[in-house]
A and B are shown apart, each in its own frame.
Chain A
Amino acid sequence: MFLVELRKLLRRPRTWVTIGLLAGLPTLVAVLLRVTGVGPRPGQGPAFLAQVLGNGALFPAAALALVLPVFLPVAVAVLAGDTVAGEASAGTLRYLLVRPVGRTRLLVAKLAVTVVFVFLAVLVVAAVAFAVGAWLFGVEPLPSVSGQTIAAQDATWRTAVTVAYVAWSMLGVAAVALFASTVTDSPLAAALGALAALVTSQVLDLLDAAAAVKPYLPTHYWLAFVDLFRTPVLWRDVNRGFAVQAVYIAVFLGFAWANFATKDIKS
């Protein structure tokens, strides 16, 4: 079933257009930076962009910081929101279930494919950004006393952890969207539901009056991966971010399963 779903994902032009657009945004930013030579002043603008002009090795992290707040979660919410509701609105859900495909099995396959998409999207963005960064800005070793090779390795594992962290955060989004997708038969409504939850979280995160709940908001620690590029690495927020997302993922996948396994399929 997983392979069938994977083939569906990869054969869909929409998947590649989405990933292309995701990788396109940082590329556009890189070209503009290169052509104009005008970067944001240090400490302002999106994370890392100020430093990128001098060192392309930081561009993958900068690219992820660019797509993370809006673009990437929207793409994930749309895709995950479509998983079950899309089949329902097309009518294919009933034919899959009478084939028969067990409901739990179908949900797990959908989740697995969403995970594949999330990693694929994050990896493509990081890889394209690395290539673009290296080409336009050159790869310099990060300022370090231990020498060139160690610095390059250092940047590599930090970027790898960043990719994993961003993907994990997006899985939180995917879990909410997947749950919404089992509730409604409209893929649009499911995506909108997940996005509504994220927007609410982001608004509350800006509000001092909501200080008490901030540490538990799904979006609160999204950008904590910036701490991975400090020396020494500041693990506190990254660890909390992993933990908070784990709770959201577990709870919403549980909801999704409980709802889907007992639902009357009337689509």
Chain B
Amino acid sequence: MIRTEGLTKRFGRLVAVDGLELDVREGDLFGFLGPNGSGKTTTVRMLLGLVFATSGRIEVLGRPMPRAAREVLPQVGSLVEGPAFYPHLSGRANLATFDAAGPGGGRVDRRRRVDDALARVGLEAVGRRPVRAWSTGMRQRLGLAAALLRAPRLLVLDEPTNGLDPHGMREVRDLLVELVAGGTTVFLSSHLLAEVELVCTRAAIVHQGRLVAQDRVEALLGPTGRVLVSTPDVGAAADLAAGLPGVRLGERRPDRLTVHLDGTAPEALNRRLVDGGVRVRELVVERPTLEEVFLRLTGKDAHVPG
């Protein structure tokens, strides 16, 4: 759905995006992560033809961008750096204005399209109040409605849950999952790592304009090679574990032991402990959180751009 090759953007001497190779496949709920100033927004803008690349190629829905923008963009819904509206118009009038501005779709079904989009984001009961008087959360929802207006095949969303309360965030997450189940591909640029970890199937991490990881989320969150063993018999457990090949002992607490496995399967460790009479209360294969992976890959200096 989205494929970039050697995508590079320079602003004067600053290299905002540097040789990016993105690969978003049909049906993905794709998380696009990176610290502030890592080139996320510039990338999103290049995908949508707002910013022109210095070099490299972009394909969206199998067509070159920005050359095929006229065929591609009608099938893409987007939310870029927060929603924006005509403040003196109502939510409905705003959607109708955007709907009428571009190609496709009859005037006749406009009302229905607008109503459907509003209903999808839980705004069906909005009145005629101008958007000026709306709360941040409502505007965010309206921005999503605008992105959904054309039942797009691809959704490009930049921080879609900004300004939403926990209920709203949950609703948006559910909505995204529902859309993906219905065949839409979602490209979600975010720095809410917990959110990405919860919903995304694949993810890419960029740092200083370069791609540092791109894989299935499960693969990114692969086991750390450590096992946490909870047991009242810590001493006996340590002795038994140390006898296995390649195993190193880690942190030791009164009722818990960290074991570094190197090639040994966790179940083998468990058997040895149980056979040796150790009362195992809990044995957990440790996985990193997305936050840990992110911080490791993007380094400590992540908040200081280039």
Contacts and interface: CB of A to CB of B under 8 A. Distances in A.
Contact of A102 (B70, B86, B100, B146): B70
The winner among A1, A13, A97 for most chain B CB atoms within 10 A is A97
A98 B101 contact: no
Interface stretch (A149-157, A163-171, A190-198, A259-267): A259-267
A11 B70 contact: no
Contacts of B86: 8, 90, 92
13 contacts: A1-B101, A13-B88, A92-B84, A92-B85, A95-B80, A96-B101, A98-B48, A98-B50, A98-B73, A100-B70, A101-B102, A264-B52, A266-B50
Nearest to B84: A91
A265 B87 CA distance: 21
A265 B101 contact: no
Given A7-B97, A94-B50, 13 more contacts: A4-B101, A11-B89, A91-B81, A92-B85, A94-B80, A94-B81, A94-B84, A98-B80, A99-B101, A100-B70, A100-B103, A102-B70, A266-B50
A90 B84 contact: yes
B78 interface: yes
B52 A98 contact: no
Main SS at interface, chain B: loop
Contact of B50 (A11, A92, A97, A262): A97
Given A90-B86, A100-B74, A95 B51 contact: no
A265 B73 contact: no
B70 A4 contact: no
Contacts, number: 72
Contacts of A11: 88-89
Given A90-B86, A91-B81, A95-B146, A265 B69 contact: no
Contacts of B83: 91
A95 B89 CA distance: 16
Contacts of B101: 1, 4, 96, 99, 101
Nearest to A13: B88
B76 interface: yes
B27 interface: no
Interface string B38-55: 000000010011111000
Interface string B100-117: 111100000000000000
Contacts of A266: 45, 50-51
A94 B83 CA distance: 10
Contacts of A90: 84-87
A8 B97 contact: yes
A94 B84 CA distance: 9
The winner among A8, A11, A95, A102 for most chain B CB atoms within 10 A is A95
B266 interface: no
Given A8-B86, A95-B84, A100 B98 contact: no
A51 B87 CA distance: 47
B82 interface: yes
Interface in B56-78: 69-70, 73-74, 76, 78
Nearest to A97: B50
Interface in A206-227: none
A12 interface: yes
Contact of A91 (B82, B88, B89): B82
Task: Name the 10 nearest CB pairs between A and B, nearest first.
Answer: A91-B84, A99-B102, A100-B73, A265-B50, A264-B51, A98-B48, A92-B84, A4-B100, A4-B101, A99-B101
Contacts of A12: 88
The winner among B69, B80, B101 for most chain A CB atoms within 10 A is B101
Contacts of A265: 45, 50-51
A3 interface: yes
Contacts of A91: 81-84
Nearest to B102: A99
The winner among A90, A99, A266 for most chain B CB atoms within 10 A is A99
B194 to A, nearest CB: 27
Nearest to B77: A98
A100 B152 CA distance: 13
Nearest to B72: A100
A97 B101 CA distance: 10
A14 B101 CA distance: 22
The winner among B76, B83, B98, B146 for most chain A CB atoms within 10 A is B98
A265 B76 CA distance: 18
A209 B69 CA distance: 52
A98 B78 contact: yes
Contacts of B89: 11
A7 B45 CA distance: 28
Contacts of B80: 94-95, 98
A94 B50 CA distance: 7
A23 B296 CA distance: 67
A100 B49 contact: yes
A100 B65 CA distance: 13
Interface string A1-32: 10110011001110000000000000000000
A264 B50 contact: yes
A264 B44 CA distance: 13
A126 to B, nearest CB: 29
A87 to B, nearest CB: 9
